[in-house]
Structure 1
Amino acid sequence: MAAGRLRATILGFAGVAVVFAVLFSVAGVDALLARLAAADRPLVALVALVTLCWLAAWGVSLWVVLDALGVPASVPDALLIFAGAMFANNVTPFGQAGGEPITALLISRITDTEYETGLAAIASVDTLNFVPSITIAVVGVGYYVTETAFGTSQRLELALAAVVGLAVGVPALGYLAWTRRYRLETRVVGVVTTVARRVAGRLPRVPTPTAEGIERRIDGFFRAIERVADHPRRLALALALSAAGWLFQMLALWLAFRAIGTPIPLSVALFVVPIGAIAGVTPLPGGAGGIESVLVVLLVAAPLAGVTEPVALAAVVVFRGMVYWLPTIIGGVVAAVVGFRARAWSV
């Protein structure tokens, strides 16, 4: 399994390299490098600082959720766990979907709690992070409509339709799934049992799981989600911290444009950052390449003075360079330390 995961990661980063090669060739490598070389370094450093504020806000949000679940974790623990979560998301295909199981294991080892509880915690945080992102995007689009002739860009009209569709469709699907969670649990148990038995049958020293054991774990996951839902005040605090994290990300993109000498309205950052984040579900690790491409397309499509392909890509490189690599480096160190300790304890 480890070899298969490594192979998928290598293929994913190869895809990222191809996407960036195409993106750089379209924007022009020389123009891009010239923009980056002329960037205001103090403002670039400020982008890094704001990025750390984003990590801190979402890390504390994770601590609030863990506290609601009764998991004994300190705020520093939660900050380190969240950095590890971002590392897992950024190096595995399909972003959060690929990184959540690894993050759940990280929570389990650092806090000495059940794996299902850790999975419920990070799944709750990811769900909570979705709500303010779409809300802020709708506000940003609405405000931007009042500032410019929005109808002149078909791409921006499509972006507006996507935001509205997500704002209505995803909560509706989530509500339906939650009201039918026990019926869904029965179906999931059947599918997971079949897959798990096939995998276990091909691996040495791996016991074949029983349907009862899998059902107990899935039931534990749903019970943990319910415990989070039973604390509305903590949920409200986690949502506020999530919204603050998104605003820090959007501020980072706005500062990145100022750093390269081409300011943009903050309202543009309010809606392009959440829409760009949707590309994180692609098979590329952490959405790298996909998110940058979506951001550049949206920024160039907007009628913004002076925002050409090289300008947009230069600002996105500064922004994503911080948002992607800072948590990847910090989280990588956390994951390595936890892995080393786990091996030391097993000896």
Structure 2
Amino acid sequence: MDGNRMATVVGFAAALAVLGGLVWFVGIDETLDALTTADPWALLAVAGIAMLWLVSWGLALWTVLRALDAPVAPHTAVLVFVAAVFSNNVTPFGQAGGEPVSALLISTAADTEYETGLAAIATVDTVHFLPSVGYAIVGFTFVAAGAVQLTRNLAFAAGAVAVLAVGIPIAAVLGWRHRDRIQAAVVRGVAPALAAVSKVVPRWSPPSAENIETRIEGFFSAIERIATDRRTVLQTFGLSAFGWLCLSASLWTSLYAVGAPVPVEVVLLVVPVGSIASVVPLPGGSGAIETVLVTLLVSTAPISAALATSAVLIHRVGSYLLPTVIGGGVAAALSVDRAASEE
């Protein structure tokens, strides 16, 4: 078994251990009772809402690819996005770990350069960040206004919202302003590393430093091209905002399915903040995301831990398991097409 496969297996084992610990802590019997008595029509609605989320964010990718002169059919963009979600969901550190694979899938489907695919998925992920901040701020404002006291978990949510609203944008702006230095540092670090790898990998020639620099320049040029296209930015932002509403609706419907509906502002806060947990070194943030969602739900709404856990598990089936299964098939099909084209 190679190292990548072993890392994936270990990651999923750790995620299952965290999930198992969460269910054990809140009560196995209570959680199972809530799951088995869930409204079947609401469960079906969760699956439908998850599909709407995938379509909306897939169309956001389609909009960006069109602006980069790498157009694909809308349904192809949706399928490629689902495959990208699969790569994020099976890779530690979520989107940060899955973006290189997602870029490869996009470049294969769009028949374009790798850096164009990387710029496309990086742009889409960046735009997704913007409406999540807005929803989190609105949700926290209303939740805090109705709270009797600022609990420790609600204070954590406030800190998370502050990071979303201030910390990440500052880091992004500084990174863009100093992109020339970043480019030079990457070239200095990557070129020698690839040269060392070529000494142990037979029949493989590493790219030159000039080639690496050209590709990085192409990546930044693609990002700048999208950022200056107001129509593309607005369309992508609108589709992204609708996708976040779908994710929030998925969690709310999951809570309704187990007989524990909560105020809308609660899910508007919980879903964006919970997504921060995807940075942990577990496949797609599994285990960590569920734990954060349950903790925030119990802290911000009059709901038991068992009901919150059962609802979060239903929500994650729609927003994690379903796209992972579908995306795995799409990614496999794209890999087969890529192999056939290289023969």
Q: How does 1:159-238 map to 2 (within 5 A)?
A: 159-238=157-236
Q: How does 1:288-303 map to 2 (within 5 A)?
A: 288-302=286-300
Contact 2:153-2:296 at 8 Å conserved across structures: yes
Distance 1:142 1:150, change over 3 A: farther
Q: 2:262 aligns with which of 264, 267, 271?
A: 264
Task: Report the counterpart of residue 282 of structure 2 in structure 1.
Answer: 284
SS in 1 for 2:199: helix
Greater Cα shift, 71-80 or 190-199: 190-199
Q: CA deviation at 1:329?
A: 1.4
Letter matched to residue 343 of structure 1: A
Q: Deviations over 1:70-93 (max 9, x none)?
A: 112111111011000000001111
Task: Report the counterpart of residue 325 of structure 1 in structure 2.
Answer: 321
Find out whether 1:309 has 2:308 as its counterpart.
no
TM-score for the superposition, normalised by structure 1: 0.96
Q: CA deviation at 1:345?
A: 3.4
Letter matched to residue 43 of structure 1: A
Between the aligned partners of 1:117 and 1:247, the Cα distance in structure 2 is: 28
Between the aligned partners of 2:83 and 2:157, the Cα distance in structure 1 is: 31
Between the aligned partners of 2:182 and 2:342, the Cα distance in structure 1 is: 37
Between the aligned partners of 2:49 and 2:41, the Cα distance in structure 1 is: 12
Task: Report the counterpart of residue 41 of structure 1 in structure 2.
Answer: 40
TM-score for the superposition, normalised by structure 2: 0.97
Letter matched to residue 322 of structure 2: L
Letter matched to residue 159 of structure 1: A
SS in 1 for 2:281: coil
Greater Cα shift, 219-228 or 117-126: 219-228
Between the aligned partners of 1:310 and 1:113, the Cα distance in structure 2 is: 48
Task: Report the counterpart of residue 21 of structure 1 in structure 2.
Answer: 20
Between the aligned partners of 1:149 and 1:71, the Cα distance in structure 2 is: 53
SS in 2 for 1:251: helix
Letter matched to residue 161 of structure 1: G
Find out whether 1:4 has 2:6 as its counterpart.
no
Task: Report the counterpart of residue 75 of structure 1 in structure 2.
Answer: 74
Task: Report the counterpart of residue 156 of structure 2 in structure 1.
Answer: 158
Between the aligned partners of 2:269 and 2:84, the Cα distance in structure 1 is: 24
Percent of aligned positions with the same letter in both sequences? 45
Letter matched to residue 185 of structure 1: Q
SS in 2 for 1:287: coil
Q: CA deviation at 1:225?
A: 0.8
Long gaps (5+) in structure 2: none
Between the aligned partners of 2:103 and 2:159, the Cα distance in structure 1 is: 34
Letter matched to residue 328 of structure 1: T
Greater Cα shift, 194-203 or 139-148: 194-203
Between the aligned partners of 2:339 and 2:2, the Cα distance in structure 1 is: 19
Letter matched to residue 23 of structure 1: L
Between the aligned partners of 1:106 and 1:208, the Cα distance in structure 2 is: 21
Q: Deviations over 1:74-127 (max 9, x none)?
A: 111110110000000011111111111111111111111000000000000011
Distance 1:49 1:335, change over 3 A: same
CA-based RMSD of the aligned residues comes to 1.3
SS in 1 for 2:262: coil
Contact 1:16-1:289 at 8 Å conserved across structures: yes
**Residue-pair matches, total:** 343
Distance 1:25 1:79, change over 3 A: same
Q: CA deviation at 1:165?
A: 2.9
Contact 2:62-2:71 at 8 Å conserved across structures: no
Between the aligned partners of 1:82 and 1:262, the Cα distance in structure 2 is: 32
Task: Report the counterpart of residue 246 of structure 1 in structure 2.
Answer: 244
Letter matched to residue 292 of structure 1: E
Between the aligned partners of 2:329 and 2:21, the Cα distance in structure 1 is: 31
Contact 1:150-1:157 at 8 Å conserved across structures: no
Between the aligned partners of 2:153 and 2:110, the Cα distance in structure 1 is: 46
